[in-house]
Amino acid sequence: MTREGADSFWETEEAVERFTGKQPDVRLLELLQGYPEPGNVRVLDVGCAAGRNTLVLAELGFDVYAIDSSVPMVGRTRERVAGVMGPDEAERRITPGRMEDLRRFEDASVQVLVALGVLHQATSETQWNGAIREMSRCLAPGGVLLVAAWSPRSRPHREAIQRVPGEKHLYEGFHTGTHYLVEAPELDTALAGAGFTTVVPTEEVRVDTENGWRVTINALYRRTQS
């Protein structure tokens, strides 16, 4: 699939409905239990899709903001969250945006940053590095970054995915197009260079899919004191 085709996938009604049906992330729910005063905790959901995590953050009373590059996904998230905070506030807090451009958010203004299923959507090293820099900039010292990203060990069709010629980390072979994939130690190294330490050991989880399997890197990082 071309990148244009992959981008259009996220705009389709089928994709929006599919992601609307997803449950909140279990690791996120566990993490949120450590915040007894949610109203004082700003959370940024980067790549919110149809709002599975944004909605629960709003319901729990967190100071939540969310972005996604797909306008239909943003619209669905706004619809869902409007029932909690009203349509005007939902429109203000949930906006179209890209992971490498978080200029709306001031330096060190976020306590929890959620990046689940987003970093591997990068289509270049520049975009991937830019996203990490922006996440580091926005997070306050001591803030945490929750990550889930696909690994190059994934086999969506049981065969090895193919690296794009001339590229170290770009791979083809997914129905969602070209993805930027790194190994777990490479992810830890990149985040360490951006001012993060691991909170728990980073792990890889394999999940069988209809035609193969997907390996996801699950990580939790803390922004070091600057």
Q: What is the pLDDT along the chain (226 residues), one digit of tens a residue?
A: 334 444 577 778 777 778 777 899 999 999 999 999 999 999 999 999 999 999 999 999 999 999 999 999 999 999 999 999 999 999 999 999 999 999 999 999 999 999 999 999 999 999 999 999 999 999 999 999 999 999 999 999 988 899 999 999 999 988 888 999 999 999 999 999 999 999 999 999 999 998 999 999 999 999 997 6
Confidence at residue 7, expressed as pLDDT on a 0 to 100 scale: 57
Q: Characterise 53 by phi-psi region: left (phi > 0), alpha (psi -120 to 50), beta (else).
A: alpha
Nearest Cα to 116, choosing from 213, 16, 22? 22
Q: Which residues contact 160 (CB under 8 A, 6 or more apart)?
A: 173
Domain ranges of the chain: 3-174+188-223
Q: Are 179 and 190 in contact (CB under 8 A)?
A: no
Dihedrals phi, psi of 146, to nearest 5 degrees = -100, 125
Sorted by sequence, the CB contacts under 8 Å of residue 158 that are 6+ apart come out as 211, 212, 213
pLDDT in the model for residue 226: 62
Q: Are 152 and 181 in contact (CB under 8 A)?
A: yes
- Position 5 scores a pLDDT of 41
pLDDT for residue 88: 98
Q: What per-residue confidence (pLDDT) applies to 12?
A: 81
Residue among 155, 147, 139, 149 nearest 107 (CA): 139
Q: Which CATH number fits domain 3-174+188-223: 1.10.260.40, 3.40.50.1220, 3.40.50.150, 3.40.50.620?
A: 3.40.50.150
pLDDT at site 4 = 42
